[in-house]
């Protein structure tokens, strides 16, 4: 797993646009071959995707050990006004057979709680947030990684690019907000952590800190809660996360 736009060394929008290609292009084929050769799941950061109508998307890609493109996710919340990417519009999860379900997120998405909440609701046990933070707000992102884990009872893996380009300090957080692994500075390095996907269900059953069971908040007689901001509502009958094998 690598950071956002890991294979693109520039932030110049013209150069990024010139490097963009569709997901059936040679870069994706080459990355698939890397995964196949390694016989491993691979998230090589995100790529500049050339859309059907000439748009440029910041797109996370996931490759299976056989080299196939298992999932792709277009960043929903580009870092405006600094990023010129077109926004995506679809939340994406990917199943790792006999392991669990990942939810895909890119950098600034973490600042919008709707992203992590939807991914958790879609059954993600681990939210992968690939990051290219070069600015001073990495401190706040580390807080968000823990907060998003706590309020959704999921693991969060926030992978930032190292210096001199980025601020580093990648982090892995458990479903109760405890830091499992972290880099303390911007130096290049590798985090390795064995993750028990089953811990998500266990923590949701007993409650965070043995008390809080947010996903069991509603009863069968509870009425919908209006959400004026979204011109919609919370439906208590649809609140619980999806079961494995049935991504929403």
Positions of E strands within the chain: 46-50, 56-63, 69-74, 93-96, 100-106, 126-131, 155-160, 171-173, 179-182, 225-227, 232-234
Q: Would you tell me how many other CB atoms lie within 10 Å of the CB of residue 134?
A: 16
216 inside domain: no
Q: What is the DSSP letter of 186?
A: S
Q: How many domains does the chain have?
A: 1
3 inside domain: no
155 inside domain: yes
Cβ atoms of 93 and 79 closer than 8 Å: no
217 inside domain: no
pLDDT tens column, 67-98: 999 999 999 999 999 998 999 999 999 999 99
Which domain range does residue 150 map to? 13-210
228 inside domain: no
Predicted confidence (pLDDT) at residue 248 exceeds the cutoff of 60: no
pLDDT at 98: 94
pLDDT tens column, 84-141: 899 999 999 999 999 999 999 999 999 999 999 999 999 999 999 999 999 999 999 9
Catalytic residues: 4, 75, 107
4 inside domain: no
Residue 75 CA to residue 52 CA, distance in Å, equals 16
134 inside domain: yes
pLDDT tens column, 159-201: 999 999 999 999 999 999 999 999 999 999 999 999 999 999 9
46 inside domain: yes
pLDDT band at 11 (very low <50, low <70, confident <90, very high): confident
Which CATH number does the domain housing residue 89 bear?
A: 3.60.110.10
């Amino acid at each position: 797993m690598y950071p956002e736009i890991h294979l693109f060394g520039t932030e110049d929008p013209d150069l990024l646009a010139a490097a963009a290609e569709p997901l059936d292009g040679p870069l994706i084929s080459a990355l698939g071959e890397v995964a196949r050769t390694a016989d491993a799941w691979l998230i090589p950061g995100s790529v500049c995707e050339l859309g059907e109508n000439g748009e440029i998307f910041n797109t996370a890609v996931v490759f299976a050990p056989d080299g196939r493109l298992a999932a792709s996710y277009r960043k929903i919340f580009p870092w405006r006004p600094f990023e010129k990417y077109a926004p995506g519009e679809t939340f994406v999860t990917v199943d790792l057979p006999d392991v669990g379900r990942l939810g895909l997120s890119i950098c600034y998405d973490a600042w919008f709680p709707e992203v992590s909440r939807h991914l958790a609701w879609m059954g993600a046990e681990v939210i992968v947030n690939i990051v290219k933070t070069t600015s001073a707000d990495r401190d706040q992102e580390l807080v968000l990684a823990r907060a998003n884990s706590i309020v959704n009872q999921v693991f969060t893996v926030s992978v930032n690019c190292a210096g001199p380009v980025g601020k580093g300090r990648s982090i892995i957080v458990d479903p109760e907000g405890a830091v499992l692994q972290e880099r303390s500075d911007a130096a290049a390095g590798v985090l390795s952590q064995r993750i028990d996907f089953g811990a998500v269900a266990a923590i949701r059953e007993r409650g965070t800190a043995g008390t809080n069971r947010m996903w069991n908040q509603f009863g069968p007689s509870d009425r919908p809660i209006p959400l004026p901001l979204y011109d919609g509502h919370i439906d208590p009958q649809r609140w619980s996360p999806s079961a494995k094998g049935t991504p929403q």
